[in-house]
């Protein structure tokens, strides 16, 4: 240091304490020590010059000057953090007191010196603010002087290895760069920008060269992810608060989505971005990170503790899964925000990118993660609801097998809750109940397995179309519709459950807004307007095929799906679709062969479609407009894609047209195609005539035909479909009241129409025959055994 600088400093000291010249000389000697390369007399001069510039802002400028003289009086680069400032303050307090400086002033000088350890000066501390700003003035000087300062600091810490010094220096610089450097308004206005520019320049020098171009973006990515988790948590919280606590729910229990939650989440995110890029105090990032993590962890615990237990008649709604997700997202936000803060202070990531780039990347990451978390939340909630609300039991023993005598003996009878459709399978008789499916052994009537959902209570309303059975009886599809307040927004709960008919094992669950047409062990075939969709059951097969018109019927046969699509007017096609790809193999135009009705919806005038077992033949029904309305049977060879035969069925009213019409049923064995339909009734309230007939699958040749009188109380559109069952030998069985008033099974076949009065068997209740009624009868065949339901009882005959 030049003699002129020393002389100038000595003059300044003498003006401060004229009577303490020896103390001044001692201090100058300290600042001239050999190991000082920055904390020397030049640094002291620059501090005193800066104090002169800010003197009017201090309460006592001379006290600040004395603190500056002593603040680095003792300087050991190997001392612990804060140790140099402490011993320097103690030296000042000792020496100044010895030279008669008043005690209050000495205490203030000691306090000011200790402030320079962390430079945490407050704006309402004028003396401290001026001293701290003076000590940090070097950061805002011109580039050459700043570079000299950095070289001097490195020389003072020459005992530290380059790698360790780089890490420590980067952490120190990053800590400075993240906060406002100057406390007084004048210093901030004049020097803040230049100081940050110098810091950024040095940071870029210390950063690992390979990481320089993108290193500063890494913390931004984590910051954006944290903000996305905060916004996602607010959206998920809104969904949880808007849902009813349990199902079933009254309308007043569903609050609707509270808009304030995502608004609050977005506002919090915007505040964090502002704090980050304005380089506010580190605690403005650290405190929210700790708060998010803490609140999230506590909320996860509360949700786990308060998670509702399964209750009969009350299903878990989406509230608790969404609240759990919101808690996890908030916990994730705290962890990501803390990681972003930590990375920002690490040397490899300390170089800040351009602000516009950083803000843009943060916003993109936040939006992306928020979308991912909210989107992933719906499958999570869906899975939790399915698990919590599904009760599924399976059978390990095979179904019972007994000889079927068809002698009218009552095999078993038992009361059941109100049921919907019943269907025969290899596992027994399946009952569609309001909340799912129950399958009973056809031999004993004992329940073998059940599948139910607590959040479904109107499945039985689907009627006979609510149960689909594969042609081999081994696969069952049950319709589980949702309605009203039971359909959670955005959640695709299964509307069809595909089950193994023998064991009750769940093969797959499918959500669709369409109508299932057919099922087997490999596919569930669904009509969705003009599209046919195959959902994989035991295989991942999935395809979607577009047709010209609305698809109304379909069956699975071998390697094909045969469907009928029909438009208003005269457009209807039978198509064969490849089961692996959905590509069309062939088509047959029904509009060319029949004068189709233009008055009714296609779903009404296109009737049943059935596959003939052990053949490559599919048979169907269609109503035409000729002769006031005529039903036609037709049959197609699916191997060659050609029409085999057609046959009119005169006198049949078009379906759902007036009170006397009905939905015809078509069923088939390998030797017969059986049709059950009604004739036009002329007198309301009188018995209605039903046609029950069988034809040969090969050419449509009639095999037998009988007329059955149906009493008025059974004259429902669904009765031909629900009330008649086809036995393996080709006979048809139904349940009707007799002239004596007794409800009795009726066999219809080649030998005519034969009532079979129920004979109470030894294994059945003696009163079973008297309890059987003909109220809303339904008939199916399971294991070759006729099984009947009258809405309150289920019973089987030998």
Report the alpha-carbon distance of residue 397 to residue 390 in Å, rounded.
Answer: 22
pLDDT at site 228: 92
Write 626-634 long-range contacts (CB < 8 A, 24+): 626/595, 629/597, 629/653, 629/654, 629/657, 631/607, 631/664, 631/677, 632/594, 633/666, 633/673, 633/675, 633/695, 633/700, 634/590, 634/593
- Interior/surface letters 721-732, b for 16+ CB within 10 angstroms, e for the rest: bbbbbbbeebbb
Going by pLDDT thresholds of 50, 70 and 90, the confidence category of residue 583 is very high
Condensed to tens digits (0 to 9), the pLDDT of residues 481-493 reads 875 555 666 778 8
- Residue recorded with tokens 């078509």: 666
Asked, colleague to colleague, whether 3-206 and 513-661 share their fold, the answer is no
Which CATH code, of 3.40.50, 1.10.3210, 1.10.287, 1.10.3470, is assigned to 3-206? 1.10.3210
Q: Is residue 210 predicted with pLDDT exceeding 90?
A: no
pLDDT at site 599: 62
Domain boundaries, the chain: 3-206, 217-391, 513-661
Q: Is residue 760 predicted with pLDDT exceeding 80?
A: no
Q: Please state whether beta strands 409-415 and 793-797 pair in parallel, antiparallel, or not at all (unpaired).
A: antiparallel
Condensed to tens digits (0 to 9), the pLDDT of residues 611-659 reads 999 899 999 988 876 655 688 899 999 989 899 999 888 777 767 666 6
DSSP annotation of 680? P
Tell me the pLDDT of the chain averaged across its residues: 84
Query: What's this model's pTM, rounded to 2 decimal places?
Result: 0.70
pLDDT at site 766: 43
Going by pLDDT thresholds of 50, 70 and 90, the confidence category of residue 242 is confident
What is the token pair recorded at 589? 């135009």
CATH number of 513-661: 2.130.10.10
């Amino acid at each position: 240091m030049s003699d002129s600088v020393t002389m100038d400093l000595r003059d300044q000291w003498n003006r401060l304490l004229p009577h303490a010249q020896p103390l001044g000389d001692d201090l100058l000697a300290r600042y001239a020590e050999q190991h000082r390369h920055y904390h020397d007399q030049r640094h002291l001069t620059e501090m005193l010059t800066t104090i002169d510039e800010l003197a009017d802002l201090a309460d006592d400028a001379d006290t600040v000057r004395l603190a500056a003289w002593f603040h680095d009086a003792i300087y050991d680069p190997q001392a612990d953090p804060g140790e140099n400032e402490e011993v320097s303050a103690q030296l000042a307090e000792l020496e100044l007191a010895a030279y008669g400086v008043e005690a209050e002033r000495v205490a203030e000088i000691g306090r000011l010196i200790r402030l320079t350890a962390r430079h945490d000066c407050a704006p309402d501390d004028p003396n401290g603010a001026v001293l701290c700003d003076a000590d940090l003035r070097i950061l805002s000087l011109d580039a050459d002087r700043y570079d000299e300062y950095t070289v001097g600091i490195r020389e003072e810490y020459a005992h530290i290895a380059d790698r360790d010094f780089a890490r420590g220096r980067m952490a120190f610089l990053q800590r400075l760069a993240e906060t406002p450097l100057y406390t007084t308004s004048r210093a901030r206005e004049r020097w803040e920008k230049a100081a940050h520019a110098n810091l950024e320049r040095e940071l870029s020098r210390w950063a690992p060269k390979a990481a320089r171009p993108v290193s500063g973006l890494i913390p931004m990515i984590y910051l954006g992810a944290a903000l996305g988790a905060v916004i996602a948590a607010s959206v998920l919280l809104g969904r949880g608060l808007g849902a009813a606590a349990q199902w079933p729910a009254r309308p007043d229990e569903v609050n609707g989505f509270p808009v304030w939650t995502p608004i609050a989440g977005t506002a919090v995110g915007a505040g964090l971005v502002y704090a980050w890029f304005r380089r506010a105090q580190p605690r403005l990032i650290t405190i929210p990170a700790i708060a998010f993590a803490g609140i999230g962890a506590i909320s996860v615990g509360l949700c786990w503790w308060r998670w509702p237990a399964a209750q009969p008649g009350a299903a878990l709604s989406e509230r608790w899964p969404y609240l759990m997700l919101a808690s996890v997202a908030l916990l994730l936000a705290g962890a990501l925000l803390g990681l972003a803060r930590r990375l920002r202070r690490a040397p490899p990531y300390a170089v800040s990118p351009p602000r516009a780039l950083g803000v843009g990347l943060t916003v993109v990451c936040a939006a992306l993660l928020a979308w991912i978390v909210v989107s992933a939340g719906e499958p999570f909630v869906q899975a939790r609801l399915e698990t919590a609300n599904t009760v599924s039991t399976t059978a390990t023993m095979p179904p019972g097998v007994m000889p079927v005598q068809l002698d009218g003996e009552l095999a078993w009878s038992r009361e059941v809750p109100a049921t919907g459709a019943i269907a025969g399978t290899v596992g027994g008789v399946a009952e569609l109940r309001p909340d799912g499916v129950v399958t009973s052994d056809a031999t004993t009537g004992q329940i073998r397995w059940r599948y139910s959902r607590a959040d479904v209570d109107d499945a039985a309303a689907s009627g006979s179309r609510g149960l689909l059975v594969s042609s081999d009886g081994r696969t069952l599809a049950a319709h589980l519709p949702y309605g009203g307040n039971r359909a959670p927004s955005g959640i695709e709960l299964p509307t069809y459950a595909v089950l193994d008919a023998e064991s009750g094992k769940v093969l797959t669950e499918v959500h669709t807004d369409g109508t299932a047409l057919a099922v087997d062990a490999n596919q569930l075939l669904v009509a969705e307007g003009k599209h046919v969709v195959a959902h994989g059951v035991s295989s991942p097969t999935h395809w979607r095929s577009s047709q010209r018109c609305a698809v109304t019927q379909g069956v699975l046969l071998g390697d094909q799906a045969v469907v009928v699509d029909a438009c208003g007017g005269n457009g209807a096609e039978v198509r064969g679709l490849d089961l692996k790809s959905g590509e069309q193999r062939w088509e047959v135009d029904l509009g060319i062969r029949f004068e189709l009705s233009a008055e009714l919806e296609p779903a009404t005038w296109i009737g049943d479609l059935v596959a003939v077992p052990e053949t490559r033949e599919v048979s169907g029904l269609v109503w035409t407009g000729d002769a006031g309305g005529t039903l036609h049977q037709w049959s197609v060879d699916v191997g060659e894609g050609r029409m085999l035969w057609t046959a009119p069925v005169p006198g049949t009213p078009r379906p759902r047209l007036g009170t006397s019409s009905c939905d015809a049923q078509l069923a088939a064995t390998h030797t017969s195609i059986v049709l059950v339909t009604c004739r036009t009734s002329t007198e309301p309230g009188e018995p209605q005539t039903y046609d029950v007939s069988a034809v040969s699958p090969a050419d449509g040749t009639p095999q037998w035909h009988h007329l059955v009188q149906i009493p008025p109380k059974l004259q429902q559109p669904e009765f031909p479909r629900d009330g008649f069952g086809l036995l393996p030998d080709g006979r048809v069985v139904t349940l009707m009241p007799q002239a004596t008033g007794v409800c009795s099974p009726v066999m219809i076949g080649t030998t005519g129409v034969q009532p079979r009065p129920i004979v109470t068997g030894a294994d059945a209740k003696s009163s079973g025959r008297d309890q059987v009624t003909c109220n809303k009868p339904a008939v199916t065949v399971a294991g070759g055994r006729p099984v009947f339901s009258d809405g309150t009882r289920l019973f089987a005959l030998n």
